[in-house]
Amino acid sequence: MTDRNLVSKAGFVAVLGRPNVGKSTLINALLGQKIAAVSPRPQTTRKRQMGILTTRHQDQIAQAVFVDTPGVHKPRHRLGELMNDEAAESLDESDLILLVVDASVTPDEEDQLLFEMIRRIKKSLPVILALNKIDLVEHSHLADFTDMYSQALPKAKAIKISATRGDNLMLLLEAILQELPEGEPFFPEDQMTDLYERELAADLIREAALILLRDEVPHGIAVRIDQFNERDEHGAYIEATIFVERESHKPIVIGKEGNMLKKIGILAREEIESMSGRKIYLQLRVKVRKNWRDDERVLRFFGYG
């Protein structure tokens, strides 16, 4: 189907930004399908994850591979350090930087760190600055907010967007495709992510738990998929363990008469079903694993580092 005389474009887009600015929401919106876990609380995206968009652009095949990095932030413990390593690593391989900021608040110290990191890159990478969440800013104040970001990175192409409302997403996509280098696509046209279904499932379970528990179990949650079996041609059976850091967190996750765990299970199952397009049977349990965030062996076990 590809005309031999047509050149195609393909490239890796490093998606950078502080936690909670809307990186995952934006990638999902651009791809039109739920791939990256989104949460009202920061740090849902823990491992690097790709979202693959293949489309036509000015009679060319264009493939943008979005690499959603865990938030760049000041490391507080080992896990934080690993996340920063991954963010820096993804820059080496990329063709374009998509920096996402929350334009409804003024830039803070962590934004400054990011600007500094981007200004220091030796390779001259194009930078697109996505000024997100403009739906939260009153029109008359929009420029006051967005100018502060644009001035910090004068060479970047700045575009005001709302990932949730959809404002200017086509404009942003156009700018991204424009910057892609010529090259053959890296992945088949119908592939949307490089993550295995089971990893996506683990991410969605973790997201469901964070949404429902709100601030009651601060950050100390990890999910391990113990079993992922095809049950029949219509569905799959998943068994997973939610790990908490403290004994006292366990009854919170389980809830009165198991109600919280049931709710987490229902929300996670719905999300996994809509992601995988088939029926899912989900079995959850809760275990305590003390200080898992600081234990390197445990980090490896969960797939970090």
Which stretches of the chain bind ligand GDP, using CB under 6 A? Answer: 17, 19-25, 38-40, 42, 44-45, 71, 132-133, 135-136, 162-164
Does residue 45 interact with Mg ion by CB under 5 A?
yes
**Residue 168 partner contact from ligand GDP, Mg ion, none using kind-dependent CB cut-offs of 5 to 8 Å:** none
Rounded to the nearest 5 percent, the helix, strand and coil shares of the chain are: 40, 25, 35
Q: Which of 94, 100, 10 is nearest to 55 (CA)?
A: 10
Q: 287 to each of 119, 247, 249, 297, how far by Cα in Å?
A: 44, 9, 10, 17
* Shorter beta-carbon distance to ligand GDP: residue 45 or 90: 45
Q: Minimum distance from CB of 41 to ligand GDP (Å)?
A: 8
* Pairing, β 221-232 against β 235-244: antiparallel
Q: Minimum distance from CB of 49 to ligand GDP (Å)?
A: 10
Task: List the x/- string, 8-37, binding to Mg ion by CB under 5 A.
Answer: ---------------xx-------------
CB-based closest residue to ligand GDP: 22
Joined together, the tokens standing for residue 264 give 């987490």
- In 35-141, DSSP assigns E strands to 49-57, 60-68, 96-102, 127-132
Q: Minimum distance from CB of 249 to ligand GDP (Å)?
A: 22
* Shorter beta-carbon distance to ligand GDP: residue 51 or 71: 71
Distance CA 56, CA 10 (A): 11
Q: Minimum distance from CB of 257 to ligand GDP (Å)?
A: 29
Please report, as ranges, the residues that interact with Mg ion according to CB under 5 A: 23-24, 45
